[in-house]
Chain A
Amino acid sequence: GENVEQHPSTLSVQEGDSAVIKCTYSDSASNYFPWYKQELGKRPQLIIDIRSNVGEKKDQRIAVTLNKTAKHFSLHITETQPEDSAVYFCAASRPSSASKIIFGSGTRLSIRP
């Protein structure tokens, strides 16, 4: 079955610097890769996603890149701000089996003032 590995498990960056979180997946048939942000005590919320037919997607300060050959994808946050502090989860699925979204183990991102 699908397995998603996420690194690092914790990340601390200076406010204003960039943060990068990396994930690898095992199922080459996966073609949808969402990223979720979970603030303390809150539910996970979708922040950006990418389909396998594109290599990069950007939304303001966040971007996701996908390398299908290597089966890895990354989340990039630029100009980090205190409100970016949260746990971030990557995930992978085949929308033909959309109910089987597999999540990575999460990255706790802390932004230092």
Chain B
Amino acid sequence: EAQVTQNPRYLITVTGKKLTVTCSQNMNHEYMSWYRQDPGLGLRQIYYSMNVEVTDKGDVPEGYKVSRKEKRNFPLILESPSPNQTSLYFCASSAKTGFGGYTFGSGTRLTVV
């Protein structure tokens, strides 16, 4: 089954404790992206990647890091999480053509206390 897999689904952590949210897709998609979703703000792009070793900042990159060492994986790293990073996070991927839109993962609800 074609899918984007995120882990974990839920995470509660403390301020300053480094964490990684994993994302993997099995569709051989070139493009991958991370979004955060907050009430009233819609989906805001954090980082995106157009191919292996090619990443760039989205609209809200502060406090986040990403890497794209393999085509299928695109982990999101929070080096020192803060409470304002409490949010619902989605990983997504799409084919190189762009048409067909993004396929989203099931989301990670992160709470930073």
Q: Given the complex of chains A and B, what is the CA–CA distance between A44 and B3 in angstroms? A: 13
Residues in B with CB closer than 8 Å to A89 are 42-43
Contact with B along A17-57 (1 / 0, CB 8 A): 00000000000000010101000001111100101000000
Nearest Cβ on chain B to A29's Cβ, whole angstroms: 13
Residues in B with CB closer than 8 Å to A44 are 43, 90, 102, 104
Q: Does the CB pair B101–A99 fall under 8 Å?
A: no
Q: Known: A43-B107, A44-B90, A95-B97. Is A101-B102 also a contact (CB below 8 A)?
A: yes
Q: Given the complex of chains A and B, what is the CA–CA distance between A99 and B102 in angstroms? A: 9
Q: Does the CB pair A43–B42 fall under 8 Å?
A: no
Contact count band on B: 20 to 34
Q: Does the CB pair B98–A32 fall under 8 Å?
A: yes
Contact with A along B33-50 (1 / 0, CB 8 A): 101000011111100111
Residues in B with CB closer than 8 Å to A95 are 97-99
- Judged by a CB distance under 8 angstroms, whether B106 is at the interface is yes
Contact with B along A78-113 (1 / 0, CB 8 A): 000000000001010111111111111110000000
Nearest Cβ on chain A to B49's Cβ, whole angstroms: 7
- Nearest to A34 among chain B residues (CB) is B101
Q: Given the complex of chains A and B, what is the CA–CA distance between A44 and B43 in angstroms? A: 10
Q: Known: A34-B101, A44-B104, A46-B102. Is A98-B43 also a contact (CB below 8 A)?
A: no
- Nearest to A48 among chain B residues (CB) is B101
- Judged by a CB distance under 8 angstroms, whether B24 is at the interface is no
Q: Does the CB pair B101–A49 fall under 8 Å?
A: yes
Residues in A with CB closer than 8 Å to B104 are 43-45
Q: Does the CB pair B50–A99 fall under 8 Å?
A: yes
Residues in A with CB closer than 8 Å to B101 are 34, 36, 46, 49, 91, 101
Show the binding face of B for A, using Cβ within 8 Å. Answer: 31-33, 35, 40-45, 48-50, 56, 58, 90, 94, 96-107
Apart from the given pairs A32-B99, A96-B98, A98-B94, 9 other A-B contacts in the complex at a CB distance below 8 Å: A9-B40, A44-B90, A49-B100, A94-B98, A98-B31, A98-B96, A100-B45, A104-B42, A105-B40
